[in-house]
Amino acid sequence: MFSLNGTLQVLDDSAVGLTFEKANIYSDKKIQLGKDRVLRQIILPNFRLTRSSKSFSLYERVE
C-alpha cells in the first residue's frame, strides 16, 4: 500500500540497450520511443504542486 499524498510524474529514461551512437545528437542513428527511450510513471511521495507557470513549478512537502 502507498500513500495518496504524492505527485505523479513522468520520468524520461533510457533503455538498457541504448548505445552512445544512438544518444549522440551528431549521429544519423535515431532513438525510438519504447525501445531506446522509455517513459516511466512515478509518484513523488509527500509532495504536492503548490504553484506553477510556464517557467517554474513549486512543490511543497506534505507531512
Residue 14 belongs to some domain of the structure: yes
Q: Which domain holds residue 17?
A: 6-61
45/58: higher pLDDT: 58
Cβ atoms of 49 and 13 within 8 Å: the answer is no
**What is the structure's pLDDT at 47?**
85
pTM (two decimals): 0.59
pLDDT in tens, 21-56: 999 999 999 999 999 999 999 888 888 889 999 999
Lowest mean pLDDT, pick from 6-10, 14-18, 54-58:
6-10
Residue 1 belongs to some domain of the structure: no
Q: How many domains does the chain have?
A: 1
- For the chain, the residue count is 63
Cα 60 to Cα 54: distance, rounded to the nearest angstrom: 18
